[in-house]
Each structure stands twice: as structure tokens, then as C-alpha cells.
Amino acid sequence: MKQQRRRSPEKTKRNPEQIFDFQQSSHIIELEAAVLGGVIKEKDALTTVIDVLKPESFISEKHEAIYQAILTLFGKSEPVDLLTVTNQLRLNGELEFIGGAAYLARISAKSISSHIEQDARIIVQYAIRRSIVKIMGDVQTKAYEDTTDVFNLLDSTEQHLREIQEGNLNKNIPDLHLVVQKTIQEIKNKAEQDGGSASVPSGFPSLDRVTGGWHNTELVIIAARPAMGKTAFVVSALRNAAIDFKMPVALFSLEMSSQQVMLRLISAEAEIDSNKLRKGELETEDWHALHSRLNNLATAPIYIDDTPALSVLELRTKARRLKAFHNIRLLIVDYLQLMTAGNGKGGMNREQEIAAISRSLKTIAKELNIPVLALSQLSRSVETRAGDKRPQLSDLRESGSIEQDADVVMFLYRPEYYQITETETGESTKGMAEVIIAKNRSGSVDNVNLRFVGKYTRFMEFDGFTVSQDKYEEISGTKILGSKANDL
């Protein structure tokens, strides 16, 4: 027989009298006893509360032990009643601790199955209150300590609060057969929708024909040497998603101010030479174009943050808020090498710091269930290489972990920049930009030609025309589905 476990009051992990007044705690303890009594006495009561209550939801450790015994029986597909719970507690060595079979008999007489779910939720609410009080107490203590890194404290506090929230949203790990069924159903849905996808479109049909758009949870690295148009490319992708497809997009611009980014957006949207905009040398027709075309831009769901030297902790915090309040569908970082790890740990070299940043960006993509696009510089070895100087994976600057963490790696290459005036087939390279998909974890690798319009700092389809959503779906073979959040 398993030895009886004894717990002394001094070692009890929760002391309710220290958190709430005694009368209130006593009321909750009585409510816990009534709910447990209902679970023991009523056949279907457990299925009503099992997705609501957890063992740690109980303020009384005796009740926690009883509920854990009930869950153990449920996990073994054994019946839950007075005799089986008593026996399980005896096997656990906790029957004496909870007050013996007599205590179980007493609480089982307090059946409240008619409103057991409601009372279970009240218990959970008080458990959440206790957790918040504990977290805030720890935060207050650490905030007074001079050695505390306040940014780490902010991040950990938000993480703890988020864990409390997510831990009470009935998110359980599904059985494998449920995952299989869900995956098959998703495949069927896409087949019925003629290749439909819930991804975020880049707005370039020829590119999305290869990639299927920007996919949730994926980290996409877009790398190039300076002057290739990295920022122009992501600003064009941002504009396409937000204006053409009404999807909220966030841009963290570490290199350019929000006004500079907006100038690029205005230049591309109104098709006004960016140099004219910067100098304020607009002609009458430019002003007409400016006023007639900027309404879409002014109302677009675009969120720009131009905090310099942004740390990963700050990015994660801001991204969570943007997801919570604005349901962003795409996050863009311009660019990776300007970020800091900001983890409070000294002694890291630059390669280790970049590795930490790339891993964190992948984590953010998975946590928020959105695609993350991060721009990256390439090493100077590209310039010293003979030939056409097309970039390759080994050119990723400062860290091989970027390639490892990324789901997709794209390079931007403009042969015109290197005075290459014709392709191998004799076609002019003027305005041509190649998107070289060097890594694609979920698909094929390929090269896609786009058109770079320098005076508008804009990327377009190679034929030079923008397309409607219907035409986009026809060309790309990808059907764009609206966010389910739009139905709320």
C-alpha cells in the first residue's frame, strides 16, 4: 500500500486568508465541496466541468487532491463514484489527508448538478484572481530591486498574464486522430475552393503561384544587398495586403521613420515621383492624383512602428497587442540586423545575438499564428564574386541560424544594378527584379520576375499592370479567403 501523504499547514502552497478575507474563502471552499459532490454523485457531471476546472483551480488542497483522483479515474476510463474515488485516494496515499471516506460521503450529499457548470466557472474566476494577485506581488517585489531588468520584467509579466488567459480558454492538446481529421477536412475545403488558401497574399500573382502567399506561423527572410529594393518590396507587399485585400498589417521600421515609409506608400499609390514628393515640387496634376488616390491609403489597416534599435522583447510585446487589438494578419521587420536581442545576458557575440533574434521571430510567428517577414542584409562576398553576382544561402550575413530558422528565404536581385543590360535570351533587364526563392520548406524553389519602378519605389507584376482580386485569383491560382474575425 502506498504510504499516506501528510501535508503540514506551514507548507501549504496557498493560504487563502492572506489573499481574501476568511468569510469569502470559506464560501468558495463550500462551493468547491458542492461541485465535487456533484461530480461524484451525478453520472454526467464530470463531462460538464472537465473543460473548465483544473486541479490547481481549487483553493483547498484537499479538494485539489480529490479532483486529481477523479481525473485519474477518468483517464483510465473507470467509473467515478464514491467507492472508486475513495479507493483512488487510498492508492494515492491521500485518503487520510482529505479527511477519509467520511468527508467524501459528506460532500457527495451536496449535489448541485442543476447549475454545476456555473458554479465551476465561479471557482475558476477566483482561481484567476489568486493567480493575478500572486503575479502582481512578485512584480512589485522585483520592481523594487535595482538588479532587475525592467524590460525582462515587463515581458515576463505579460507572458504570465497571457498564460493565465490562455490556460482558461479550454485549449487542450487534441488527440492525433482529431488532428488527422482536421487536416483532411482542410484539404477537402481547399479542393472545393479551387485551391483556396487562408494565407496572406503578396499581391504578386506570379510569386503567389509558387509560394501560395505568406503562410501563418512561417518566418520569411527577404535578403539582398543594399540598393536592391528590400524596403520597397515589403512596402509594396504591405500595401497590397492592406489596401487590395483589407488585411491588417504591421511594419516595424528600424531603418526609416514612419514619415519616410508613408512617403513611399504615397508615391506608389498616387504614382508620383518620390523625388518630387521629397522636395515638395508637385505640379497641378500631381496634386489631383494625390487627393484622388489617397483615400484608400488613409483608411487602410496599416500600423507602422519606427522605434530605433528595437529589442526582441519590445517587438514581442507590441506584436501581441497589435494582434489582440487589431488582429494583424502580417508582421514585417525592416530589418533584422538592426534589432537587439535585449535579453539582459552579456558576453554574446554578434552571431549569437542574431541567432537569438531569428529564433525569437520564428517563435512570434508561431505564437501569434501569423506570417513574419524579416529583411536581412547579405555579406559583401556577393560583390567580390565573379559572374552575375546572384546571391545564395551562404551569403546570409552573420549567422547560419537565419537559414535554419526561416521557413522561406528569398533573395532580391536586379541585374541592371550590376550593368547587366540583357538576359541570356537577349531580353532587356531594365526595371527587371528577380525574386530568387532559395528555400521553401513547404513548397518548391524557383525564380520569379517582377518589375521594379524606381521613381515610385514600387514592385509590380512584370507586365506592369496591377490586377483586381478576381483577376489575381485567376492568375495566381490562389483564392483569397476573408478572416473569420470579420464575422465577429
CB 370 within 8 A of CB 326: no
User: Which 8-state DSSP code applies to residue 454?
Assistant: G
Exposed (0-12), middle (13-18) or buried (19+): which is 369, by Cβ within 10 Å? exposed
Q: First CA to last CA across the chain, in angstroms? A: 55
Active-site residue among 117, 158, 255, 271?
Answer: 255
The SS3 of residue 453 is: strand
The verdict on whether 255 is a catalytic residue reads yes
- What is the C-alpha separation between 205 and 240, in angstroms, rounded? 11
Exposed (0-12), middle (13-18) or buried (19+): which is 87, by Cβ within 10 Å? middle
Q: For helices 258-270 and 230-239, what crossing angle results, to 10°? A: 70
Amino acid type, 49:
V
Residue 55 CB contacts under 8 Å (≥ 6 apart), including other chains: 64, 67, 68, 71
- What is the C-alpha separation between 388 and 34, in angstroms, rounded? 77
DSSP string, 174-232: PPHHHHHHHHHHHHHHHHHTTSEE-SBP-S-HHHHHHH-SBPTT-EEEEEE-TTS-HHH
User: Which 8-state DSSP code applies to residue 273?
Assistant: -
The SS3 of residue 168 is: coil
- What is the C-alpha separation between 11 and 9, in angstroms, rounded? 5
- What is the C-alpha separation between 302 and 288, in angstroms, rounded? 23
**Which residues does the annotation mark as catalytic?**
255
